[in-house]
Amino acid sequence: MLNYWFRFPLSFLPFRSHFPITSSHGLLYLWAEGPTNSVGPNLSNKTLIVCNPLTRQFKLLPQLGSAWCKHGSVLVGSPNQVLVLTELAAIYFSVSTTSNNWLKFSSNLPSKPRSPILISDTILALCDVGSPWRSQWKLFRSTVKDLQFSQQWVRLEKHEWGDIFDILKRPRLLGGKNDKVLMIGGLKSSFSLHSTCSTILILRLDLESLEWEEAGRMPPEMFRYFQDSSKFKVFGGGSRVCFSGKRVGRLALWEENECGKGEWRWIGGIPGNSDGLYRGFVFEARLNAVP
């Protein structure tokens, strides 16, 4: 079943344009603009919608300004729990809140969050605390509850970690299995400013013990297709991580098997997108998921 691509038509959504951004628990989340039957000045307003493409059910979340769409990262936890995060502020929506509105609170991150993720109630993000000419990435953690009470983000670090953030080029985060964190990036050949990469490395962090371990590294025969790509895209989560690069023409897949061992393989036959820089996320289809 993993070797087939299935297309989910979204023509049932009454919007002029829509762009899928993430998914959770069998539901798909999209930025949408302009209902097809509306006329007026609000056409430029962006709306977050949640739908089940299998049952064709959908729901609109409370209205948001266009700035959140341009600059915010949308994180989804349990069903109907949505967080939109920027460098300076965050907004939160849950059906369990008393009002049907977004709750807004200060974020106060040191820089624009990179690849933030939401694991249970924990928010994690990478931030660049370096200089304009040299990046220095650090890991920050907070919770939805802490943000609501204006508490600051906590920088996660241990002396035992050493130079773990300095060995990766353009690191990014994904949620792994069993509430663990995956950090993926190019493995630098040296600590020089313009160092080349020898492979792509996947590290795994246990949030309880705060210990890192190597989860996988891309085989040399696979990495040579990404070696000339200054930027590559990473997406996925859980037990699967996908990699795309310009002119590669297929996806590289790292998959963790039931024994906890990572395996690498190619996925071909991807429709569309001529430049090869595919973007995506994990979607686990469910017929019983209700927006």
pLDDT over 80 (residue 273): no
The pLDDT value recorded for residue 147 is 82
The pLDDT value recorded for residue 86 is 86
Long-range contacts of 124-132 (CB under 8 A, 24+ apart): 124/156, 124/173, 124/181, 125/85, 125/153, 125/173, 126/171, 126/172, 126/173, 126/183
The pLDDT value recorded for residue 97 is 67
> pLDDT band at residue 1, thresholds of 50, 70 and 90?
very low
Mean local confidence (pLDDT), 72-81: 84
**Rounded CA separation 79/277 (Å):** 30
Average confidence score pLDDT of the chain? 86
> pLDDT band at residue 40, thresholds of 50, 70 and 90?
very low
CB-side exposure of 284: number of CA atoms within 13 Å? 9
Q: Classify each residue of 99-133 as buried b or exposed e, where b means 16 or more C-beta atoms within 10 Å of its C-beta.
A: eeebeebebebebbbbbbbbbeebbbbbbbeeeee
pLDDT over 90 (residue 55): yes
Token pair 């019983």 in the structure block, residue: 288
The pLDDT value recorded for residue 274 is 60
pLDDT over 70 (residue 181): yes
Token pair 């190619």 in the structure block, residue: 266
Structure tokens at 26: 């069998």
Q: Of 151, 67, 64, which is closest to residue 109 (Cα–Cα)?
A: 151
**Rounded CA separation 202/214 (Å):** 6
pLDDT over 90 (residue 236): yes
Q: Of 10, 16, 90, which is closest to residue 47 (Cα–Cα)?
A: 16
pLDDT digits (tens, 9 = 90+) for 85-129: 988 888 888 877 667 788 888 888 888 899 999 998 899 999 999
The pLDDT value recorded for residue 35 is 67
Q: Which of 47-56, 225-234, 255-264 has the lowest mean pLDDT?
A: 225-234
> pLDDT band at residue 43, thresholds of 50, 70 and 90?
very low
pLDDT digits (tens, 9 = 90+) for 121-144: 899 999 999 888 888 899 999 998
- Under a CB-based contact definition with an 8 Å cutoff, are residues 216 and 254 in contact? yes
Task: Give the pTM.
Answer: 0.89
pLDDT digits (tens, 9 = 90+) for 195-208: 788 999 999 999 99
Q: Of 77, 68, 28, 26, which is closest to residue 47 (Cα–Cα)?
A: 68
